[in-house]
Amino acid sequence: MTTYILLMNWTEQGTRNVRESPKRLDAAKKQLGDMGGSFKAFYLTMGEFDMVALVEAPDDAVLARFALMLSSGGSVRTRTLKAFPEFAYREIISSLG
């Protein structure tokens, strides 16, 4: 599985309906699970982003579909980072010669 970091901000609609946010999170977890992925961690954050999630998905295409589905709901905007675990980081760096 590939790891991704999702950076999320509520839209105006999402802020208006913030009390429904936990239900939307539960639905998102189920949706990603149905797509073969999973949430590993979720955080409400202070600062530039409202929420951060650490997720896993089978591949980039699955995560792209998931992020688009989240955004199409109108309550959040997402930014996605592909994350490389430490062992991959070390391999990448050592391959530089």
Instruction: Spell out the domain ranges in the chain.
Output: 2-94
Supply the pTM of this predicted model: 0.92
For the domain covering 2-94, report its CATH number: 3.30.70.920
Condensed to tens digits (0 to 9), the pLDDT of residues 24-45 reads 999 999 999 999 999 999 999 9
What does the H/E/C string look like for 63-93? HHHHHHHHHHCCCEEEEEEEECCHHHHHHHH
Kindly report, residue by residue over 50-68, the tens digit of the pLDDT: 999 999 999 999 999 999 9
For residue 4, give the nearest of 46, 32, 45, 44 by alpha carbon.
Answer: 32
Using DSSP bridges, classify how beta strands 76-83 and 38-44 pair: parallel, antiparallel or unpaired: unpaired
